[in-house]
Amino acid sequence: MPSVGPATIQLDFQLPIRFNLTFVIVVPVGPMYDEYAQKVRQQFHDAKLMVDIDLDPGCTLNKKTRNAQLAQYNFILVVSEKEKTGSTINICMRDNKVHGEHTVSETIAWLQQFQQSRSKQAKEEF
């Protein structure tokens, strides 16, 4: 009689937004905006939102954005000179949909509301 061993099945799928714990990443355009990016990350962290930051000076903006998409971050917050002077952030989604500039406090409020409501249509509501 043949022996039967344990088997694993690998499923390759993307979790819905509401299940992703760290769903925000801050991406500075260049090293000169790292300080502002850290300030933005701290504001999100203070609001009890899990957020990461990509400060790799060896990567271009396109590479950082692609890395964030592959890591399945749902919201990619890009900061540059324009956002720094206006105290805003530029919001992109994982599927390359750009939502434009918004204030940090406005974005935090929306993400907190989204987190509490656990809506299935979050992308459409945003």
**If we measure between CA atoms, which residue out of 29, 123, 20 comes closest to residue 72?**
20
Distance of CA 20 to the CA centre of its chain: 10
Asked whether the whole model's pTM tops 0.85, one would answer: no
- With cut-offs at 50, 70 and 90, classify the pLDDT of residue 77: very high
- Give 50-75 pLDDT, tens digit per residue: 899 999 988 999 999 999 988 888 89
What's the confidence (pLDDT) of residue 79? 95
Phi, psi of 124 (to 5 degrees): -70, -35
Q: How many residues does the chain have?
A: 126
**Domains within the chain, CATH numbers bracketed:** 19-117 (3.40.50.800)
Q: Percent of the chain beyond pLDDT 70?
A: 75
What's the confidence (pLDDT) of residue 11? 56
For the record, the structure tokens of 70 come out as: 């592959």
Q: Give me the mean pLDDT over the 30-44 stretch.
A: 94
Pairing of strands 88-93, 98-103: antiparallel
For the record, the structure tokens of 38 come out as: 């850290």
- With cut-offs at 50, 70 and 90, classify the pLDDT of residue 110: confident
Rounded Cα gap, residues 49 and 40, in angstroms: 12
